[in-house]
Chains A and B, each alone.
Chain A
Amino acid sequence: MTSSGAQLKILVCVKQVIDPETPLSAFKIDPGTKRVAPAAGVPPVVNGFDENAVEAALRLKDSVGAEVTVLSMSDSFAMDVMKKPLSMGADALVLAQDSQFRDLDPFASAYVLAAAIRKLDGFDLILCGRQASDWDNAQVPTGIAEMLGLPLVTVAQKLDLASGGIVVERALPDGYEVVEAPLPALVTVSNELGEPRYPTLRGIMAAGKKTPTTFSASDLEVDPARLAPRMHLLDLAVPPRDSKCEFISGENEADTGRQLALRLREAKLI
């Protein structure tokens, strides 16, 4: 943990995901492999909530000064996607990359990321997005915190440093709670924090010059037995949607509004 005066060290975990805004018509599952087939011409993105986490780190960097390292884990990366956090203003990128890291489940993912964080060492604050938009598991950050024995605060909408610790506003369905934790700690960030900043031209130039540090499974001394999935995927399917919409129209828009109300009355809905 940082002694007073030393630079705050923040690590942000990010995941490359299939663009969640992929049009539904292009969302396809390969039944053989039970995997989502990436839509042609729709590039992957940095998970949205992870961008919120990067933004949270950069706000702390702006306000109190911090060194921000970004960590990601996969079997393969689209490098221009992974460099986005650097072009937003992060200082360094670390990629845990190995053919064994393909489609890891949350338990295995947390295990590998925790191993990478141990190896990098010395972080005061670890930030993650609240969940990844592909499997919506919201488990990996918890696993990292549990394995590293760190305090955990989820779904942050605001983060501030206080003497020796962090003060987090945790978003609730009807308000928020204020949570305090000593550092080092792990905090997951939600979109309520506010829009992530856009990369600047200077940021993009700087990111282009940076070379990521990479770790393989053997660098991290990963036990292959712990990479096996814990849950069994029996099936992955697009839910059936039987469209049965009755379209209402009138002589003009105003009449359409009137017809809609009359139809809903007829159906006893109003």
Chain B
Amino acid sequence: MSGVLVFGELTDGHLSGTTAELIALGKQLGESVAVALFGGNMAGAADEAAAYGADRVHLVEDPLLVDGQKDAIIAAFDSLCREVSPDIVLIGKTPLGLDVGPRLAFRLHAGLAQDCVSLEMRDGKLVATRSVYGGNALATVGFPEQGPRIAIVRGKVYEPLAPDASQTAEIVKFEPKLDSSVIKAKTVQVVKRESQGVRLDDADVVVSGGRGLGGPDPFAQLQELASLLKGAVGASRAACDAGWLDHSYQVGLTGKTVTPNLYIAVGISGASQHMAGCSGAKNIVAINKDENANIFKEARYGVVGDWKGVLSSFIETVRELTKS
């Protein structure tokens, strides 16, 4: 084969949103798009991949893949790539994808573009635009001739295609016949922090706070505002590092990518590493006492002022307006 191979991931047993985004991107880049799925019981996810536009699904099966060990998945994906020699490999910027991409690149002696915000064909060659220097700069990079061109793609940049359940894909089984020695590091436990209310990742409204809040207590007010707007609370890394909130609230380059309709940033300076996680928001509103804060360069609406004086009346007015 040539064409595009997507590293498939699941969330709660279904094809992940990121994987659907990568299929849509793959369709723009190559003639055919294949998706690799790992483990057993993948028939449902394979149908979903087909509905989102995949032409082919590789069901990668091996006893060692059953409990989802990362080292086994990487070895299996490496083996599949050698078998099918894709031109382009697309991987999501996810906790798993961020490990898979570089390891595959080193094993296959291939080129890798990290954190891509755009991929396109120029004169038949793949060109990636990627965020570097924390988002302060964009690098446009081309790939070597040898090996597949591997791209780790930032989430929520590309839209999935509208799913069409009548579409089918060719299903190909692949058995990598892994040796147990491939598993060197082993996950023995996963501890999940259950978020209450609206999930930050999918929220339509996000109310974020930063170091300017001065402590953990003001976040109760942000939560109140978020609840009124049926949204979720987020934070800058500075607020999380200070221990005011758990890191699962962190928005940014090394935190979550959010794309709400409304992003309200309170006491956040707007460092590029923070904006990397929220610049996809349709409308950014900033409350900051420093008129030169970078956040105002990206905001649609801004208030230059101390949140302590502004926030309470803002919340009260929002409460009145959203009452009916």
Contacts of B255 in A (CB 8 A): 173
Contacts of A171 in B (CB 8 A): 247
Q: Does B167 contact A (CB under 8 A)?
A: no
Say how far A103's CB is from chain B's closest CB, in angstroms.
13
Once the chains bind, are B95 and A172 in contact (CB under 8 Å)? Answer: yes
Contact with B along A17-59 (1 / 0, CB 8 A): 0101100100101000000100000000000000000000000
Contact with A along B134-167 (1 / 0, CB 8 A): 1111111111100000000000000000000000
A-B interface contact total, Cβ < 8 Å: 244
Contacts of B283 in A (CB 8 A): 267, 269
Q: Does A201 contact B (CB under 8 A)?
A: no
User: B31-39, B43-51, B58-66, B101-109: which lies at the A interface?
Assistant: B101-109
- CA–CA, A236 to B185, complex, Å? 37
Say how far B193's CB is from chain A's closest CB, in angstroms.
4
Once the chains bind, are A20 and B111 in contact (CB under 8 Å)? Answer: no
Contacts of B304 in A (CB 8 A): 247, 249
Closest to B122 in A: A234
Contact with B along A229-270 (1 / 0, CB 8 A): 011111111110101111111001111111011111101011
Contact with A along B218-249 (1 / 0, CB 8 A): 00000000000100000001000100000110
- CA–CA, A157 to B193, complex, Å? 15
Q: Does A180 contact B (CB under 8 A)?
A: yes
Which residues of chain B from 268 to 308 have any CB-CB distance to chain A below 8 Å in the complex?
271-273, 283, 285-287, 294, 296-306
Once the chains bind, are B273 and A139 in contact (CB under 8 Å)? Answer: no
- CA–CA, A236 to B316, complex, Å? 46
Q: Does B180 contact A (CB under 8 A)?
A: no
Q: Does A120 contact B (CB under 8 A)?
A: no
Once the chains bind, are A136 and B131 in contact (CB under 8 Å)? Answer: yes
Contacts of A175 in B (CB 8 A): 190-193, 248
- CA–CA, A175 to B187, complex, Å? 14
A143, A195, A239, A244: residue with the most chain B Cβ atoms closer than 10 Å = A239
- CA–CA, A257 to B241, complex, Å? 28
- CA–CA, A265 to B320, complex, Å? 11
Once the chains bind, are B317 and A180 in contact (CB under 8 Å)? Answer: no
Once the chains bind, are A142 and B185 in contact (CB under 8 Å)? Answer: no
Known: A24-B136, A174-B192, A258-B314. A142 touches B106 (CB 8 A): yes
Known: A234-B142, A238-B136. A243 touches B297 (CB 8 A): yes
Closest to A261 in B: B317
Once the chains bind, are B237 and A257 in contact (CB under 8 Å)? Answer: no
Contacts of A261 in B (CB 8 A): 313-314, 317-318, 321
Of A136, A178, A234, which is within 8 A of B132 by CB? A136
Once the chains bind, are A143 and B106 in contact (CB under 8 Å)? Answer: yes
Of A107, A178, A181, which is within 8 A of B189 by CB? A178
Closest to A263 in B: B301
Contacts of A20 in B (CB 8 A): 133-134, 273
Contacts of B195 in A (CB 8 A): 174
Once the chains bind, are A241 and B103 in contact (CB under 8 Å)? Answer: no
Q: Does A190 contact B (CB under 8 A)?
A: yes
Q: Does B256 contact A (CB under 8 A)?
A: yes
Closest to A134 in B: B133
Say how far B194's CB is from chain A's closest CB, in angstroms.
8
Q: Does A94 contact B (CB under 8 A)?
A: no
Of A106, A191, A235, A260, which is within 8 A of B241 by CB? A191
Nearest 6 Cβ contacts at the A-B interface: A253-B309, A257-B314, A261-B317, A257-B313, A151-B184, A142-B102
B→A interface (CB under 8 Å) = 71, 95, 98-99, 102-103, 105-107, 111-115, 127, 131-144, 184-195, 201, 205, 229, 237, 241, 247-248, 253-256, 261-262, 271-273, 283, 285-287, 294, 296-306, 309-318, 321-322
Q: List 14 A-B contacts (CB under 8 A).
A: A27-B136, A173-B248, A174-B248, A175-B190, A180-B186, A185-B184, A232-B142, A232-B143, A241-B298, A245-B302, A246-B300, A254-B313, A257-B317, A260-B310
